[in-house]
Structure 1
Amino acid sequence: MEDLKSALREHADLVADLVERVSSDLKIGFRPAVDSFVGFFHSIDWNEPWLICLLLFHFTLLVIAFISRKRVNFQIGLSIFAFSGVYLAERINHILAKNWRSFAGQNYFDPNGLFISVLWSGPLLVLSIVLVVNTLISLCKLIVKWKRAELRHRARVSRGKQD
């Protein structure tokens, strides 16, 4: 019995050591990424008019998506627009990198496209996810409606055969 208790204690110590190592690695692992994102957002001048307009544009698209949630065809067009914007992000970044002096205080448009990915493609992808989820919900409701109609039809047909 004593051997079993010592084996369980050793196992518990190993598990505790493993959990401690994993948690310390996670704390260290996420800290540089968090620091990089904080530095990224602090390096942006959020008072520039074009940035405010960009944020308002994304907010407006999100509001339009919620308002038009029952209009599936409109939302398909909106999702095509969003996916097209993500697809064209590299070209947009290239054009804006050439002309940044005419509208911005500093050049945000690096060749890797980090800025355009975070502030242009990211919100468009979030919008696309919202639209896809709404489409799936609409399809589920349509399937339920169709199945109910099918069951009503079968009930009428079976009543007709009984008479």
Structure 2
Amino acid sequence: MEEVRLLMEQHLNQMADLIQKFSSEFRSGMGPAYDNFIGFFHAIDWKEPWLMGILGFYALLLLVTIISKSHVNFQMCLFLLALSGVYLAERLNRFLGNQWQFFATQNYFDPHGIFLSVLWSGPLLLIAILILINTLFSMCHLIIQWKRAELRHRARLSQKKDS
């Protein structure tokens, strides 16, 4: 019984330490995260043609996603392509890390894939989320239409029985 009490005290002490660390980080605010983001943003040469091409690609993909919002099947293809791009990000990072001298002024492609995750996978995931939200709204709209048609059909059947 003494062992259980000691284990509980150790667990409570660990939890208290974790809560204290979390609260101190929470009190420090978003300053460190903002500083890291600004450092990341300034470390990139945004005038490189391949980066401008990627940003243009995302602008075009976002525009196509917005224009095609009523075409669910096309958007499902876009959704699968976006998720395939995220899936292939690790291989793409490895390939581009080996070939960066041919298109970039510096090697952005670290072994952990942070740069590619932020610049490639992040926007693709955001577009996939937009497509998913649009698909959920379309499904809700279809369910409402189906239920209304079902209620009209039941009303017609009950009118035929009454007459």
Q: Report the TM-score range of the alignment, normalised by the length of the smaller protein.
A: 0.7 to 0.9
The equivalences for 1:34-113 within 5 A come to 34-113=34-113
What's the offset of the Cα at 1:145?
A: 0.3
Letter of the 1:138 counterpart: S
Deviating 4+ runs (over 2 angstroms): 24-27
The residue type equivalent to 1:129 in the other structure is I
User: In structure 2, what residue type is equivalent to 1:85?
Assistant: G
User: In structure 2, how many angstroms separate the alpha carbons of the residues matched to 1:30 and 1:158?
Assistant: 62
Please list every run of 5 or more consecutive structure 1 residues that lacks an aligned counterpart in the other structure.
1-21
Which secondary structure does the structure 2 equivalent of 1:46 belong to? coil
Deviation of the 1:30 alpha carbon: 2.5
Post-superposition shift, 1:26? 2.6
- 1:55-99 deviation digits (Å, cap 9, x = unpaired): 010111111111000101000000000000000000000000000
Alpha-carbon distance in structure 2 between the residues aligned to 1:27 and 1:90: 35
Task: Find the aligned partners of 1:159 and 1:114 in 2 and give their Cα distance.
Answer: 65
Percent identity between matched residues is 57
Partner SS for 1:110: coil
Superposition TM-score, scaled by structure 2 size = 0.84
For 1:9-24, list aligned pairs within 5 A: none
TM-score by length of 1: 0.84
1:137-162, CA deviations, whole angstroms, 9 ceiling, x for partnerless residues? Answer: 00000000000100110010000001
* Alignment gaps of 5+ in structure 2: 1-22
Alignment coverage as a number of residue pairs = 142
Output the CA distance in 2 between the equivalents of 1:101 and 1:82: 27
Aligned-pair RMSD on alpha carbons? 1.4
